[in-house]
Structure 1
Amino acid sequence: MSETTINDAEIAKFTAMAEEWWNPKGKFKPLHKFNPVRLSYIRDNLISHFARDTTVMRPLEGLKIVDIGCGGGLLCEPLTRLGATVTGVDAAERNITIAKIHAEKSGLDIDYRVTTSEALVAAGEKFDVVLNMEVVEHVDNVPLYMKSCADLVAPGGLMFTATLNRTARAYALAVVGAEYVLRWLPKGTHDWRKFLTPDEIHSLITRNGLKVIEDKGVVFHPIADEWKLSDDTGINYMVLANRPA
Structure 2
Amino acid sequence: MTSGTVSAEEVGKFDRLASRWWDPNGPMKPLHRMNPARIGWIEALLHGPTRILDVGCGAGLAAEALARKGHAVLGIDAAGEAIQAARAHAEGQGMDLTYRACLAEDLLSEGRSFPVITALEVIEHVPDPAAFVRVLAALLEPGGVLVLSTLNRTRRSWVVGKLGAEYVLRMLPVGTHDWKAFITPAELAGMLRSAGLRVGLSTGLLADPLTGQWRTGRDMAVNYMIAAVR
Larger Rg: 1
1:84 — aligned with what? 71
Which amino acid in the other structure matches residue 15 of structure 1?
A: D
2:15 — aligned with what? 15
Structure 1 residues 3 and 28, CA gap change in structure 2 (3 angstroms): closer
Cα shift readout 1:206-225 (whole Å, capped 9, x = no counterpart): 11111111221111111232
TM-score normalised by length of structure 1: 0.90
Q: CA RMSD in A?
A: 1.5
User: 1:3 & 1:181 partners in 2: Cα distance?
Assistant: 33
1:36 — aligned with what? 36
Q: Percent of counterpart pairs with the same letter? A: 41
1:45 maps onto 2:42 in alignment: no
Cα shift readout 1:153-176 (whole Å, capped 9, x = no counterpart): 111110101000011110011000
Which amino acid in the other structure matches residue 156 of structure 2?
A: R
1:207 — aligned with what? 194
TM-score normalised by length of structure 2: 0.96
- How many residues are matched? 230
Indicate conservation of the 8 Å contact 1:121/1:151, yes or no.
yes
1:155 maps onto 2:142 in alignment: yes
Task: For CA contacts below 8 A with separation 6 or more, give which structure has more relative contact order.
Answer: 2
Cα shift readout 1:84-110 (whole Å, capped 9, x = no counterpart): 111000000001111111111433342
Cα shift readout 1:85-138 (whole Å, capped 9, x = no counterpart): 110000000011111111114333422111111221122111010001100000
Q: How does 1:58-69 map to 2 (within 5 A)?
A: 60=49, 63-69=50-56
User: 1:157 & 1:177 partners in 2: Cα distance?
Assistant: 36
Indicate conservation of the 8 Å contact 2:3/2:127, yes or no.
no
What is the DSSP-based 3-state SS (H/G/I as helix, E as strand, rest coil) of the residue aligned with 1:75? helix
Alpha-carbon distance, 1:7 to partner: 0.5
Indicate conservation of the 8 Å contact 1:103/1:109, yes or no.
no
Runs of 4+ in structure 1 off by over 3 angstroms are none
Indicate conservation of the 8 Å contact 2:152/2:185, yes or no.
yes
> Which segment drifts farther, 108-117 or 92-101?
108-117
1:101 maps onto 2:88 in alignment: yes
Which amino acid in the other structure matches residue 33 of structure 1?
A: R
Alpha-carbon distance, 1:3 to partner: 4.9
- For structure 1, the residue ranges without an aligned partner over 5 or more in a row are 53-59
User: 1:195 & 1:78 partners in 2: Cα distance?
Assistant: 25
- For structure 2, the residue ranges without an aligned partner over 5 or more in a row are none
1:198 maps onto 2:185 in alignment: yes
Indicate conservation of the 8 Å contact 1:118/1:145, yes or no.
no
